[in-house]
C-alpha cells in the first residue's frame, strides 16, 4: 500500500574525498559544489573556473565548417547581383529563430531575401517540391534551408535540376547519403572537422551569419539562445557560450518582438534564464506551428513595428492557450483509454479527431504519468491511416524496436527517445503486441523505468540560499548539464495542499530534525491527501530560490517521491455522499452487492469499480491504482485476501456500514427465548402484514427480529411457507450459536468494531498486519 516512486533513482556518490577537500579550499566553495563539478567532468580549479565563466574563446571559427567558404561566396554573389534568395525554415522554435537569423543578416547587407515557413499540415517537415515550385515561379535562384534539409533528397534534386541552387544548413542526424545540394553546412559533415558537433539549427545559422558579416554578430545571440535552449541540444562547449551570452543579450535587448512577447506574457527581462526560455517563451513560439502556420513568429522576431509586434505576441499567447486546452482534452481522453490496460508495458492509444500537432506533447505527459513508452495516434477513417508520435524511456529504444517492425509503417522516423509514424489502422494492434513483447524481453534483464540521476543525498539543514546560489553558478542548465537533482530521505510532511487549476499541483512543506523545506510539485495534486497521512517520504528534486513578498527561501521542485510506509487515508463515514466517489484514477472496491448497485454509478469515469463477493474475487484482484474501500467486508479474511499483494498504492478507507451490526450487537438469549415462546402460541404469522407489529410488540429492532428469524430458519426451529411463519414441532435441539447466520453476524460485529470504531492508529496497524507489512514499533 506504499506509493512507490514513478522512476528509477540512480545516485552518483563515488568521490575522491581528498580531491574534494583540496578543490573546496582552492576555490573557496562547498564540498557539495565540488561534487557537482566532478560529476560534470571538471577535475581542476582551472576547468571549473573556465566552465563557470565562458568567454569569447568558446566560439569556434565558422570557416572550420565544411563548405563554409563556398557558401559565403555563393550568398555574396547572389547579393551583389540582386538574385532573389529564399530562406526555407521550419515551424518550431529552433526553425523560426534560424530563419530570423539568416533573413535579418542577409537583408542587413543588402540581399533580396524572403523567407518561407512550411505548414506542418500542408508541406510538412523539410524540403517540399510544391513549395519549391512556387519559389521558381517567383524567380528565386537560391534557396537556403535552415534547421532542415539533410533528408530532403527528392525535393532538392528536383529544384536543382531546374537551375535553382540549394544551400542546406542543418544539424539533424545525417542520412547515409547526403542530398545533391549546392553546399551543405552541418557540424557533423562527414568531410568536415568542426570541433563541436551538437549545434542547434539556430547555432548553425549563427555561424553562417558570422562568416557572412566577417565579425561576431552579438545582436543575433538573443535569437540563437532561444533556438538552442528550445531544441534541447547539449549545453556544453559552444552552445554553453551561445546561451550564456544570449541570455545576457536578452536581458538588455532592444528587439521589439522579444520585448512585446515578454510584456504580453508578463515576464521580467531582468530575471530571464534558460528556464524562462524553455518553459515560458518557447511554448507559445512552438504552439502556433502546432496549430497553423508559424510565419508570424519570424515577423515578430524581425519587425520594427511595435503595434504589429504587440498583435503577434498576443496571437502567440492565445494559440498557446488553445494548444494547452487541446493537449488537456486529449490527455484526459487518453488516460481514460488506459483504464484496464495496466498490464501493458507500452502504451499505444488511438482515436479519431485528436489534433495531430500536439500528440508528441501528450505522449510525453503520459510517459511522465505512467513511466511507460507511449505512442499517441490520430485515426483518419477516410484514409484508413493512423498518424502520430511516440515518446520513450531510457530502457526502451523506441526507434530500434519500431524499426524492427518497419513493414507495419507507411512512414516512420525518429531516435531512441522519440518517433513519428504513419501506419494502417489495422496494424495498430500488431504494433502494440510487437512492442509489448520487446518490452517484456527488456524487463527480464533490466529495470523498466524512467531514470533520475541524483547527484547527492542531502539533509535539509545543509540547504541554504548561499548553497543554491553556488549551485546556480553552473547555469545555464540543460542537456548534458542538467540542473542537479538531490535526494532528501525520510522527511515528514507537515503541510500539504493541492493548488492550481483543477488542483493539479501540490504545495508541500516537509521537516527533518527540526529543519523545514518548501516543495512545489507540478502534476502531483492527487497526492495531497496521501501526504496528510502520518507517513515518512523520500523526495527527489531540484533546488531553487523562491521569492514571495520580498522574502527568499529555498524551495525544492519535486521530480519524484517515495512513501517509506503504507499510505492509509481515513475517510470513514456513516453516510455515503457523491463526493466520496470523486477520486480519479482509483479502484473503488465494494463488498456489498446492494451498495455496489446503488453507488457505483457515482464513481468518476477516470476510475474503475470492482465488487468482491468471495475469497476467489479477492485473490484475483490485482490493483494498479490507488484503492478505495467503500464498505465493510463480511470478514477480516476477505479483507486480508483483498489487500494481499496490493501494496504499492494509497488505500482510502471509507468502510461504510448500512446495517450497524456493531451498534445493535448480538441478541440476548432472552430475546431468542421470547420470540420462540411467542411463536409457540401464535400460528401462521404473516410476516409481510404483521412483521412491523411483531417487532413493536416484542420491543425488538426490526433488523434484530429478521436476524433471529433467519437463525431459527437455519436451525430448523421455524418454517416459512407462502409468507407465513410457524413453529416446527419436529425440530431437533440445536444451539443457535452454532448456526452460520449467527457466526456471520458475530464476525460482522468484530469487523465493524475493528474497521469503523477503532482509532486511526489502531486501524493502520490492523491493515498493515493484514497486508503482511511490518509494523514499526
The CB density around residue 173, as the number of other CB atoms within 10 Å, is 11
Q: Looking at residue 776, what is its pLDDT?
A: 37
In the chain, what percentage of residues exceed pLDDT 90? 78
CB-based contacts of 236, cutoff 8 Å, min separation 6: 198, 480, 481
Residue 167 forms beta bridges with which residues? Answer: 144, 183
pLDDT above 80 for 772: no
Q: Are β-strands 451-454 and 8-11 bridged in parallel, bridged antiparallel, or unpaired?
A: parallel
pLDDT, average across residues 382-404: 94
CB-based contacts of 83, cutoff 8 Å, min separation 6: 77, 112, 141, 142
Q: Looking at residue 563, what is its pLDDT?
A: 84
As a whole number, the mean pLDDT across the chain is: 92
pLDDT, average across residues 253-276: 96
Q: What is the dihedral of CA 351, 352, 357, 362, to 10 degrees?
A: -20
CB-based contacts of 231, cutoff 8 Å, min separation 6: 92, 93, 94, 200, 201, 202
DSSP state of 560: E
Q: Which helix (H) or strand (E) holds 24?
A: helix 17-27
Q: Looking at residue 729, what is its pLDDT?
A: 80
In the chain, what percentage of residues exceed pLDDT 70? 97
Q: Looking at residue 647, what is its pLDDT?
A: 59
Closest CA to 330 of 367, 283, 377: 377
Read off the pLDDT band of 170 (50, 70, 90). very high
Q: Looking at residue 734, what is its pLDDT?
A: 86
CB-based contacts of 50, cutoff 8 Å, min separation 6: none
pLDDT above 70 for 540: yes
pLDDT above 60 for 774: no
Read off the pLDDT band of 458 (50, 70, 90). very high
The larger pLDDT score, comparing residue 342 to residue 114, is at: 114
CA distance 432 to 420: 15
Q: Whole-structure pTM over 0.85, yes or no?
A: no
Phi first, then psi: what are they for 504, rounded to 5°?
Answer: -75, -20
**Which range, 33-42, 407-416, 767-776, is most confident?**
33-42
pLDDT above 80 for 775: no
pLDDT above 90 for 92: yes
Closest CA to 474 of 224, 244, 197: 244
Instruction: Kindly list the strands in the beta sheet with 685-686, ordered across the sheet, starting from the edge strand earlier in the chain.
Output: 685-686, 724-727, 718-721
How many Å separate Cα 344 from the centre of its chain? 18
CB-based contacts of 6, cutoff 8 Å, min separation 6: 368, 371, 449, 450, 560
Q: Where are the alpha helices (DSSP H) in 252-397?
A: 256-264, 274-276, 282-291, 295-302, 306-338, 359-370
Instruction: Dump pLDDT digits (tens) for 594-635.
Output: 999 999 999 988 788 999 999 999 988 877 778 999 999 999
Q: Looking at residue 565, what is its pLDDT?
A: 72
Read off the pLDDT band of 732 (50, 70, 90). confident
Say what angle helices 201-213 and 93-108 make with each other, to 10 degrees.
10
Q: Are β-strands 651-656 and 626-631 bridged in parallel, bridged antiparallel, or unpaired?
A: parallel
Report whether 39 contacts 11 (CB < 8 A). Answer: no
Amino acid at each position: 500500500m506504499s506509493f512507490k516512486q514513478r522512476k528509477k533513482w540512480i545516485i552518483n556518490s563515488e568521490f575522491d574525498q581528498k580531491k574534494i577537500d583540496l578543490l573546496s579550499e582552492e576555490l573557496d566553495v562547498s564540498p557539495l559544489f565540488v561534487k557537482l563539478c566532478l560529476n560534470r567532468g571538471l577535475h581542476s580549479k582551472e576547468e571549473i573556473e573556465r566552465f563557470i565563466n565562458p568567454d569569447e574563446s568558446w566560439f569556434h571559427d565558422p570557416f572550420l565548417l565544411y563548405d563554409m567558404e563556398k557558401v559565403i561566396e555563393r550568398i555574396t554573389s547572389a547579393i551583389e547581383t540582386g538574385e532573389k534568395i529564399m530562406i526555407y525554415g521550419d515551424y518550431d522554435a529552433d526553425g523560426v529563430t534560424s530563419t530570423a537569423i539568416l533573413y535579418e543578416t542577409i537583408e542587413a547587407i543588402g540581399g533580396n531575401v524572403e523567407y518561407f515557413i512550411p505548414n506542418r499540415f500542408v508541406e510538412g517537415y523539410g524540403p517540399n517540391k510544391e513549395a519549391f515550385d512556387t519559389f521558381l515561379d517567383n524567380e528565386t535562384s537560391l534557396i537556403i534551408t535552415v534547421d532542415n534539409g539533410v533528408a530532403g533528397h527528392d525535393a532538392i534534386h528536383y529544384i536543382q535540376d531546374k537551375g535553382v541552387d540549394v544551400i542546406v544548413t542543418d544539424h539533424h542526424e545525417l542520412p547515409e547519403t547526403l542530398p545533391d545540394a549546392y553546399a551543405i553546412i552541418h557540424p557533423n559533415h562527414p568531410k568536415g572537422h568542426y570541433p563541436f558537433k551538437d549545434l542547434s539549427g539556430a547555432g548553425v545559422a549563427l555561424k553562417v551569419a558570422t562568416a557572412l558579416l566577417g565579425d561576431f554578430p552579438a545582436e543575433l545571440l538573443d535569437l540563437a539562445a532561444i533556438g538552442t535552449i528550445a531544441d534541447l541540444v547539449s549545453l556544453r562547449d559552444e552552445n554553453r557560450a551561445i546561451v550564456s551570452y544570449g541570455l545576457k543579450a536578452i536581458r538588455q535587448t532592444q528587439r521589439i518582438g522579444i520585448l512585446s512577447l515578454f510584456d504580453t506574457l508578463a515576464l521580467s527581462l531582468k530575471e530571464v534564464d534558460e528556464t524562462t526560455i524553455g518553459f515560458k517563451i518557447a511554448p507559445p513560439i512552438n504552439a502556433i506551428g502546432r496549430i497553423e502556420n508559424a510565419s508570424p513568429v519570424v515577423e515578430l522576431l524581425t519587425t520594427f513595428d511595435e503595434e504589429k509586434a504587440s498583435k503577434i505576441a498576443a496571437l502567440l499567447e492565445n494559440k498557446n492557450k488553445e494548444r494547452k486546452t487541446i493537449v488537456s482534452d486529449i490527455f484526459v481522453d487518453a488516460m481514460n483509454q488506459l483504464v484496464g490496460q495496466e498490464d501493458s508495458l507500452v502504451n499505444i492509444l488511438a482515436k479519431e479527431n485528436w489534433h495531430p500537432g500536439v500528440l508528441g506533447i501528450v505522449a510525453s505527459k503520459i510517459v511522465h504519468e505512467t513511466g511507460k513508452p507511449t505512442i499517441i495516434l490520430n485515426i483518419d477513417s477516410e484514409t484508413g491511416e493512423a498518424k502520430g508520435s511516440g515518446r520513450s524511456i531510457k530502457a526502451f529504444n523506441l526507434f530500434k524496436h519500431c524499426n524492427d517492425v518497419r513493414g507495419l509503417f507507411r512512414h516512420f522516423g525518429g531516435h531512441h527517445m522519440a518517433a513519428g509514424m504513419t501506419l494502417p489502422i489495422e496494424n495498430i494492434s500488431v504494433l502494440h503486441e510487437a512492442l509489448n513483447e520487446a518490452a517484456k524481453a527488456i524487463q527480464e534483464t533490466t529495470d523498466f523505468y524512467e531514470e533520475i540521476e541524483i547527484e547527492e543525498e542531502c539533509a535539509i539543514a545543509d540547504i541554504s540560499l548561499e548553497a543554491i546560489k553556488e549551485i546556480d553558478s553552473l547555469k545555464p542548465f540543460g542537456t548534458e548539464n542538467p540542473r542537479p537533482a538531490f535526494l532528501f530521505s525520510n522527511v515528514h510532511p507537515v503541510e500539504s495542499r493541492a493548488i492550481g487549476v483543477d488542483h493539479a499541483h501540490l504545495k508541500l512543506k516537509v521537516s527533518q530534525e527540526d529543519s523545514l523545506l518548501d516543495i512545489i510539485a507540478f502534476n502531483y495534486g492527487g497526492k495531497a491527501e496521501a501526504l496528510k497521512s502520518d507517513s515518512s517520504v523520500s523526495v527527489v528534486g531540484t533546488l531553487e530560490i523562491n521569492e514571495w513578498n520580498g522574502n527568499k527561501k529555498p524551495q525544492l521542485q519535486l521530480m519524484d517521491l517515495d512513501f517509506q510506509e503504507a499510505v492509509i487515508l481515513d475517510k470513514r463515514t456513516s453516510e455515503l455522499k457523491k463526493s466520496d466517489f470523486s477520486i480519479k484514477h482509483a479502484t473503488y472496491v465494494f463488498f456489498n452487492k446492494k451498495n455496489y448497485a446503488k453507488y457505483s454509478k457515482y464513481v468518476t469515469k477516470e476510475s474503475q469499480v470492482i465488487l468482491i463477493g468471495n475469497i476467489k474475487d479477492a485473490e484475483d484482484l490485482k490493483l494498479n491504482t490507488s484503492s478505495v474501500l467503500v464498505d465493510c467486508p463480511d470478514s477480516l479474511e476477505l479483507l486480508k485476501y483483498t489487500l494481499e499483494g496490493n501494496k504499492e498504492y494509497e488505500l482510502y478507507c471509507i468502510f461504510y456500514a448500512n446495517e450497524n451490526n456493531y451498534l445493535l450487537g448480538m441478541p440476548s438469549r432472552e430475546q431468542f427465548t421470547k420470540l420462540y415462546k411467542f411463536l409457540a402460541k401464535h400460528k401462521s404469522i404473516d410476516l409481510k402484514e404483521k412483521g412491523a407489529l411483531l417487532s413493536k410488540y416484542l420491543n425488538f429492532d426490526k433488523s434484530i427480529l429478521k436476524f433471529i428469524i433467519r437463525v431459527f430458519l437455519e436451525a430448523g426451529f421455524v418454517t416459512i411457507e407462502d409468507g407465513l411463519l410457524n413453529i416446527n414441532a419436529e425440530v431437533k435441539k440445536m444451539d443457535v450459536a452454532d448456526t452460520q447466520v449467527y457466526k456471520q453476524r458475530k464476525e460482522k460485529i468484530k469487523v465493524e468494531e475493528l474497521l469503523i470504531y477503532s482509532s486511526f492508529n489502531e486501524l493502520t496497524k490492523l491493515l498493515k498486519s493484514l497486508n503482511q507489512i511490518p509494523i514499526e514499533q
